[in-house]
């Protein structure tokens, strides 16, 4: 293996005009990805990331010393953060919390400077935190569930949604499972959205009880796929498109065209370099604009 030169630089490099301290810190020791490389990756991907993250409350996963050391989730703006990172107080029922959001690449790179690796937006935008603009089915494999079974499950969901007249999108999480996302008009409140998703998942369990479960307890999942409909609630999040995951190998969460499902081998198969190559080859998924809603009939069908 070639020895990499690590001569210390006299000034911190700037990415999107944000100075990056400890640029050569290998925040992914195994994959040998440095803090500066992570910042440059997000900068390269800004045209794909900013549109999907802007104006959404976000949780961040910070690993200031890299993925081998302590990581923690943070959703409220810290004292050391500049105006690139916005803050909004969101009240819900009896409680109220401050949440962060960003509208520009400067905010994203500042996050990286502060040790953020993963970003997890909500399914709402900050101007209306009570009305989700998408629903997400998060498919989590139980022990020994082959990836092919997860792939089939996403197709099952896609087809069921099609029967309801709904278009959905596919994403590999960079972890173990896949997400199916359904864009919707901002008309439903959380209660309605969650009820629909729970009952949709329940119908899948009752049709194919050997394959699926909605039991949260990991122990009881057995060899089944956990249909995690709980992403569809107030303050719930799902991993952002092109977020690098704080896991070995620095895998990336990647939205995919449904016609790519067949060839998919694992949810964590895309590295930073793979994503950049797809970008150069113009192979990144482009979201078509979709304007759809859950009709009264559909909601009635899944009321209980």
Under 8 Å CB-to-CB from 281, ≥6 apart: which residues? none
CB-based contact 183:292 (threshold 8 Å): yes
Name beta bridge partners: 218.
none
How many residues bind ligand ATP (CB under 6 A)? The answer is: 14
Selected range binding ligand ATP among 28-36, 123-131, 237-245, 291-299, rule: CB under 6 A? 237-245
Q: Is 297 helix (H, G, I), strand (E, B) or coil?
A: helix
181 touches ligand ATP by CB under 6 A: no
Closest CB to Mn ion among 138 and 241?
A: 138
CB-based contact 76:57 (threshold 8 Å): no
Distances from the Cα of 262 to the Cα of 138, 162, 257, 271, angstroms: 19, 19, 10, 19
Q: Is 1 helix (H, G, I), strand (E, B) or coil?
A: coil
Selected range binding ligand ATP among 37-45, 126-134, 172-180, 215-223, rule: CB under 6 A? 172-180
Q: Which phi and psi angles does 246 have, rounded to 5°?
A: -80, 60
Smallest separation (angstroms) from ligand ATP to the CB of 1: 30
154 touches ligand ATP by CB under 6 A: no
267 touches ligand ATP by CB under 6 A: yes
195 touches ligand ATP by CB under 6 A: no
Please list every residue from 44 through 83 that binds ligand ATP, using CB under 6 A.
59, 73
Of 228, 232, 238, 246, the residue at the interface with Mn ion (CB under 5 A) is 228
Distances from the Cα of 289 to the Cα of 118, 261, 286, angstroms: 26, 21, 9
Q: How far apart are the C-alpha atoms of 27 and 232, rounded to whole Å?
A: 31
CB-based contact 224:152 (threshold 8 Å): no
13 touches ligand ATP by CB under 6 A: no
* Contact string 126-165 vs Mn ion (x = CB under 5 A): ------------x-x-------------------------
Q: Return residues touching ligand ATP (CB under 6 A).
A: 59, 73, 120, 138, 140, 173, 175-177, 228, 237-239, 267
């Amino acid at each position: 293996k070639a020895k990499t030169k690590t001569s210390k630089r006299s000034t911190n490099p700037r990415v999107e005009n944000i100075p990056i301290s400890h640029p050569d810190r290998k925040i992914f020791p195994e994959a040998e990805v440095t803090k500066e490389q992570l910042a440059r990756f997000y900068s390269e991907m800004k045209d794909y990331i900013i549109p999907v993250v802007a104006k959404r409350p976000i949780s961040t996963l910070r690993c200031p010393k890299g993925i081998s050391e302590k990581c923690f989730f943070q959703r409220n703006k810290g004292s050391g953060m500049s105006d690139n990172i916005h803050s909004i107080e969101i009240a819900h029922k009896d409680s109220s919390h401050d949440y962060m959001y960003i509208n520009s690449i400067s905010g994203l790179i500042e996050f990286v400077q502060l040790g953020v690796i993963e970003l997890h937006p909500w399914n709402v935008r900050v101007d209306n935190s009570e009305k989700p603009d998408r629903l997400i089915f998060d498919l989590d494999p139980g022990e020994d569930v082959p990836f092919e079974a997860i792939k089939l499950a996403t197709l099952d969901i896609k087809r069921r949604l099609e029967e309801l007249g709904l278009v959905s999108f596919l994403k590999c999480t960079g972890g173990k499972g896949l997400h199916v996302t359904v864009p919707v008009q901002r008309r439903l409140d959380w209660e309605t959205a969650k009820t629909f998703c729970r009952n949709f998942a329940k119908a899948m369990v009752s049709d194919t009880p050997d394959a699926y479960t909605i039991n949260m307890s990991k122990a009881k999942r057995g060899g089944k796929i956990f249909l995690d409909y709980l992403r569809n609630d107030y303050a719930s999040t799902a991993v952002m498109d092109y977020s690098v995951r704080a896991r070995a190998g620095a895998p990336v969460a990647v939205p995919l065209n449904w016609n790519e499902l067949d060839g998919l081998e694992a949810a964590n198969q895309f590295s930073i370099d793979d994503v950049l190559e797809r970008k150069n080859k113009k192979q990144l998924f482009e979201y078509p604009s979709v304007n759809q809603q859950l009709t009264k009939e559909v909601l009635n069908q899944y009321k209980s």
